[in-house]
Structure formats: C-alpha cells, structure tokens
Amino acid sequence: MKTVYDFTVKDRKGNEVSLSQYQGKVLLIVNTATGCGFTPHYEPLEEMYRDLKDRGFEILDFPCNQFANQAPGSDDEIHEFCTLKFGTEFPQFAKIDVNGDTADPLFAYLATEKPFEGFGKGLKAAGLKKFSDMNNKRYGEKAYIRWNFTKFLIGREGNVVARFEPTTDMEEVRKAVEAAL
C-alpha cells in the first residue's frame, strides 16, 4: 500500500528530498501562495508548528502559482516573504503545480486519497467556489486541488487522515492535528 513516504519532492534549492525522512511524524502538507486572501493562514500554521513540532509534528509547505497567479515569485522570494512577514520556520519546498498534466505526483496522490468535498457553507465558501470553478475548468478531471491553502493531514503511518479546504477554520485544523499526535 502506497503512503506519502513513497514520494520524493524538491526542496527550495532543487535537491531531491525523500518524504521517508518524515516517517513516524504527523504531517500537514499544504499548497500555499503569498498573494492569496488565505495567506494569513501562515500565522496560525507557524504557531501550530512552534507549539507542536517537539511532539513529532511537521508542516510541509509547497508554494503553487496555479490559482490566479498568487505566487508569482521565485522560490527564494517566496521564502523570504514568508520568513520576514510570518516568521515561518517549517520546511518550504520548491514551487510546484498541483493540477493538470504537470501536477506534482504527491498532490495527485493526496487528492486521490481525499477528494474535494466542497468548501462548506457561507458567503466565503460560495464566492471561492465560483472562482475555483472558473480557474480549474482547464484542468478537467485533473483539478485535484481547488485553491491555495488546501491542507492534508498525514498520520504517523504515512496515510492521509483528513483534507481541509482553505475555508476550514484553522482551530478545526489544529484540533485534528492534536488528535493525530
């Protein structure tokens, strides 16, 4: 049975990184962007990371520019923005695609394990659905991720436990992470 530990990704400098190095840890894998309405999620993510990393928790950050060009900078520019504005210390990897024929295999796997079930209720969810539908029309069945700051919770065995859309309250995400720890 395949797990996230079977995947290799690239770090910000282009070096191959096997996710097997995170074996036994609880992971939150996130596709991010620096110019998104959800960019403030970096703050509670970093707070969660600082509070829980000593208990075997890691956040893996994958910038993506496929949603309204909200992550246009280079890997170094994105990293500088995140560390200066939000003080992020969790690992940030090379910018990737999460949808279409060029989708990173890790994200295709994650989204296949926990498919999109909607953005929830409310005005924010309805508005995001409209933008998401327009943006993702070009990817068809390979529209794995619907927007920036989609989060996947991975248990200590490397299996996908939960998927959180960007509209999910960060307190709910944190509670799920703490339960997995």
Give every CB contact of residue 130 below 8 A, 6+ residues apart in sequence.
none
Residue 15: predicted pLDDT: 96
- 134 neighbors 152 (Cβ within 8 angstroms): no
Contact by Cβ (8 Å): 154, 34: no
For the chain, the distance separating the N- and C-terminal CA atoms, rounded to the nearest angstrom, is 22
Tens digit of each residue's pLDDT (9 = 90 or more) over 102-118: 999 999 999 999 999 98
Which domains does the chain possess?
A: 4-180 (3.40.30.10)
Tens of pLDDT, residues 47-80: 999 999 999 999 999 999 999 888 888 889 999 8
Catalytic residues: 36
Q: What is the pLDDT of residue 127?
A: 84
The pLDDT of 151-176, averaged and rounded, is: 97
For residue 166 the two structure tokens come to: 């960007």
Instruction: At 112, list the tokens.
Output: 């296949």
